[in-house]
């Protein structure tokens, strides 16, 4: 018997999603600051893709496993999803505190691996948690509210970078021939470490979890009676079984994601180096400009996230998603051709509309077509569709940028724009899925 979920108020949905602010502040630092830190510590352009292998690998392993485990977890005191994203936030917080003190490139790379483990442990059960709480009629609103906090977290992260650089970077007068991380960058990581835990705690304390149905509780009880070895095997069996039963819609979405997330990883890795080429900025100036770009597109995400809900209801989620991919592609193709530091920010408005749709619409569509009792594992599989393209990018793009793109960050960004256009055409094959869940 399915649980009838109550309709939640605006503020209940708001409180439920506050934790994404801290998670995405951390993610915003990864987007904008980690690759420049690698450069400060001696990494070259062709090294950057492979140095980012942590994200794809940990996402591929951690998210679906944690999702499957959380599906089989229930504690009357701690809940089903909360323990996982709270522990993940604590791990991420400790790594953010330590990151600016990295004495060498490989120390920083190692910390990135641990940071990604924490963020992935928090992210997947949190997304399932949102789906668990909301009736179908509120799923689009709930996931677009999530997009709003995703944008807000990344805005704060990037704004902190260029504000601290403007306030303290000139005074510090870093000699960029020295392999050292600028002191002004430390402050952003410290703020992220605090927000990572504080915002998750807000959502944990403000939002009770729904008790599983009698059938789910019986399944969980039977699972807990298994031997330790069988319980270890269960998440892997769940993942394999869920992939075999995966709706055709998700297979089509995987094709879209292949080009979409490959292109996004190119952008995050090469937007800062691009400004060193296109505008002859030094590393600190390029990092500050990249932070302004990322701040702008995430402000755009905040503005448009909830506005996309009525558009999706009127035109269909799939059409809004297709349009968002084309807009993002146009933005990336435009950026390298603008030489003015202020005007180059304008295409990021289009990028932000795209990011708002990408971080909300696919999750709401998938959440409607997967069973409640397997939502955790399917959200993990959806994340696999994100990290596999990222993994492919980290393994392939170093040789591509070196041998085919003349080791040019400008050419890298242009290729990313072309990939977004391809993903938009592939998304035309997506049809609005019919709901099977309450």
Q: Give the pLDDT confidence of 277-297 residue by residue, as tens digits.
A: 999 888 878 888 988 898 898
pLDDT of residue 177: 41
Predicted TM-score of the model (pTM): 0.70
Judged by average pLDDT, the poorest of 104-113, 222-231, 315-324, 416-425 is: 222-231
Tell me the pLDDT band of 221, cut-offs 50, 70 and 90: confident
pLDDT of residue 35: 78
Helix boundaries (H) for 165-227: 170-172, 186-206, 214-224
Tell me the pLDDT band of 433, cut-offs 50, 70 and 90: low
> Nearest 5°: CA angle at 181, between 114 and 262?
55
Mean pLDDT (whole number) for 387-414: 90
pLDDT at 350 over 90: yes
Tell me the pLDDT band of 305, cut-offs 50, 70 and 90: confident
pLDDT of residue 136: 77
Mean pLDDT (whole number) for 318-324: 91
What string of DSSP letters covers 291-345? HHHHHHHHHHHHHHHTTHHHHHHHH-HHHHHHHHHHHHHHHHHHGGG---TTGGG
Q: What's the full length of the chain, in residues? A: 438
Distance CA 353, CA 333 (A): 16
pLDDT of residue 36: 78
For all residues of the chain together, what is the average pLDDT? Answer: 84
pLDDT in tens, 148-182: 888 788 888 888 887 887 777 654 444 444 456 77
pLDDT of residue 179: 52
Mean pLDDT (whole number) for 201-208: 88
Query: First vs last Cα of the chain: how many Å apart?
Result: 11
Residues in contact with 286: Cβ distance below 8 Å, sequence separation at least 6, in sequence order: 36, 272, 273, 274, 275, 276, 279
Residues in contact with 111: Cβ distance below 8 Å, sequence separation at least 6, in sequence order: 95, 98, 99, 102
Tell me the pLDDT band of 408, cut-offs 50, 70 and 90: very high
pLDDT of residue 435: 58
Judged by average pLDDT, the poorest of 173-177, 188-192, 311-315, 349-353 is: 173-177
> Nearest 5°: CA angle at 99, between 46 and 345?
60
pLDDT at 419 over 60: yes
pLDDT of residue 169: 63
Tell me the pLDDT band of 347, cut-offs 50, 70 and 90: very high
């Amino acid at each position: 018997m399915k649980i009838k979920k109550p309709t939640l108020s605006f503020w209940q949905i708001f409180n439920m999603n506050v934790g994404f602010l801290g998670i995405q502040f951390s993610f915003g630092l990864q987007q904008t600051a980690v690759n420049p830190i690698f450069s400060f510590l001696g990494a070259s352009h062709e090294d950057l893709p492979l140095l980012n292998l942590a994200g794809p690998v940990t996402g591929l392993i951690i998210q679906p496993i944690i999702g499957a485990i959380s599906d089989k977890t229930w504690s009357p005191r701690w809940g089903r999803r909360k323990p996982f994203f709270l522990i993940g936030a604590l791990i991420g917080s400790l790594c953010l505190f330590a990151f600016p003190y990295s004495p060498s490139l490989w120390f920083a790379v190692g910390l990135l691996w641990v940071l990604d483990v924490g963020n992935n442990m928090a992210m997947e059960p949190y997304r399932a948690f949102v789906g668990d709480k909301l009736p179908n009629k509120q799923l689009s609103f709930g996931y677009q509210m999530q997009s709003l906090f995703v944008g807000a977290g990344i805005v704060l992260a990037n704004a902190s970078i260029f504000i601290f650089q403007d306030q303290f970077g000139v005074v510090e007068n870093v000699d960029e021939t020295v392999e050292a991380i600028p002191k002004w960058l430390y402050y952003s990581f410290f703020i992220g470490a605090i927000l990572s835990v504080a915002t998750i705690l807000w959502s944990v304390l403000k939002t009770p979890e729904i008790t599983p149905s009698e059938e789910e509780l019986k399944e969980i009880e039977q699972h807990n009676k298994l031997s330790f070895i069988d319980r270890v095997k269960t998440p892997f069996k769940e993942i394999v079984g869920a992939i075999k039963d995966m709706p055709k819609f998700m297979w089509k979405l995987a094709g879209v994601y292949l080009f979409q997330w490959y292109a996004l990883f190119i952008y995050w890795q090469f937007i800062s180096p691009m400004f060193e080429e296109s505008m002859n900025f030094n590393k600190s100036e390029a990092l500050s400009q990249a932070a302004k770009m990322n701040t702008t597109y995430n402000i755009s995400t905040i503005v448009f996230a909830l506005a996309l809900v009525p558009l999706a209801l009127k035109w269909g989620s799939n059409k809004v998603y297709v349009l968002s991919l084309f807009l993002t592609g146009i933005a990336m193709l435009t950026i390298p051709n603008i030489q003015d530091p202020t005007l180059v920010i304008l295409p990021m408005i289009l990028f932000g509309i795209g990011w708002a749709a990408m971080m909300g619409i696919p999750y709401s569509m998938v959440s409607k077509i997967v069973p409640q009792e397997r939502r955790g594992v399917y959200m993990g599989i959806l994340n696999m569709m994100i990290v596999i393209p990222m993994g492919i990018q980290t393994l392939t793009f170093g040789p591509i940028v070196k041998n085919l793109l003349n080791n040019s960050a400008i050419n890298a960004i242009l290729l990313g724009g072309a990939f977004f256009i391809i993903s938009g055409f592939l998304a035309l094959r997506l049809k609005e899925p019919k709901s099977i869940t309450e």
